[in-house]
Amino acid sequence: MPGGRLLPYLRSMRQPKPFFYQGQPQLGSAEALRFMCLSDGHLGQKDSMHPDHLETLEQALLREKERMAFCVYNGDLVHDCPERLPEVAELFRKQQVRLFATRGNHDHCPEEDWKRIFGHGLNHRFQEGKTGFILLDSSDEQGSYRCVDRAFLAESLEAYRSLSAVFVVTHLAQGGQSYHSISCPDFLPLLQRFPNVKAVLHGHDHDMNGQVYCAGIPHLWSGHIGGSWGLPETIYREVIVEPDGLLISCIRALRTGEILQGHVFRNRF
């Protein structure tokens, strides 16, 4: 199918619906919000299978920075060496790509240092047009697994109630959706109260690159870009939000940008 005919085809799909398209087509309209989501680089891990992942990431940013509004790095930027976090932040600054990051259980970084390095707190929200983003901390300086700050999440969801779309971002899945997730009983019922929550973005699970529906909301993973275990391909997720509410998401290979899988979402269940 020619690239120019892909968007009408995607619009015709009933959600949730997978699509597969080899190559590097331009998905979405010119008016769509488009951002990049990745996780789990584990910089500094001695037995990493991808010791050159920062160089590969830099090439991906060079390739994508004109298309993407910003990048969300969803935790475990480093592996038990928080002193190397500035290297990651500097890479994004060098390529002039806006970066928002969540703390993973291997980042071990205190709040004041996180603010200094990334320019925002461990719990943070921001708005891009009519779309809101809520970044939630799910660990601590010791690397424990923790439920997110429910008060901050509730306050943020209420503040963004009038927006057309909201994305919740947390390194650790909070509702038992995966083998490595934790169980936080208040998390999913709170999200259910806000129909404009489009998706929840997760990291941590290096072996997951798909989606799980919980409370009618898609929970999306992005595999890993580094580390010692997980899917054989290092990947990132491209997320596209159309003005009419259509959500297109695809997994791309970090080295080439080729689409490996994609899904279309229009409405919640």
pLDDT band at residue 14 using 50, 70 and 90 as cut-offs? very low
Sheet holding 259-265, edge to edge: 17-19, 259-265, 247-253, 235-241, 33-38, 71-74, 99-102
Structure tokens at 129: 């047009």
Higher pLDDT, 199 or 267: 199
The reported pTM is 0.91
CA 148 to chain centre: 16
85, with CB counted inside 10 A (0-12, 13-18, 19+), is buried
Q: Which of 10-24, 169-183, 223-237 has the lowest mean pLDDT?
A: 10-24
Higher pLDDT, 4 or 116: 116
Residue 215: the pLDDT is 81
How does strand 259-265 pair with strand 99-102? unpaired
- How much of the chain, in percent, has pLDDT values that exceed 70? 89
- Does 193 score more than 60 pLDDT? yes
Q: What average pLDDT does range 75-87 have in this prediction?
A: 98
pLDDT band at residue 233 using 50, 70 and 90 as cut-offs? very high
Considering only CA atoms, which of 188, 180, 193, 199 is closest in space to residue 76?
Answer: 180
pLDDT tens digits along 200-220: 999 999 999 988 888 889 999
- How high does pLDDT run on average in the chain? 90
Residue 73: the pLDDT is 98
Q: Check if CATH label 3.60.21.10 holds for domain 31-234.
A: yes
Q: What average pLDDT does range 36-41 have in this prediction?
A: 98
Residue 214: the pLDDT is 87
- Does 268 score more than 70 pLDDT? no
Residue 11: the pLDDT is 53
Kindly report the length of the chain. 269
Q: Can you give the three-state secondary structure of 11-52, one letter per residue? A: HCCCCCEEECCCCCCCCCCCCCEEEEEECCCCECCCCCCCCC
How does strand 71-74 pair with strand 33-38? parallel
- The residue written with tokens 């299978």 in the block is 49
Higher pLDDT, 151 or 5: 151
Residue 13: the pLDDT is 46
Say if residues 253 and 234 touch (Cβ distance below 8 Å): yes
- Does 17 score more than 80 pLDDT? no
Q: Which of 5-19, 106-120, 138-152 has the lowest mean pLDDT?
A: 5-19
Number of Cβ atoms within 10 Å of the Cβ of 178 = 17
pLDDT tens digits along 82-129: 999 999 999 999 999 999 999 999 999 999 999 999 999 999 999 999
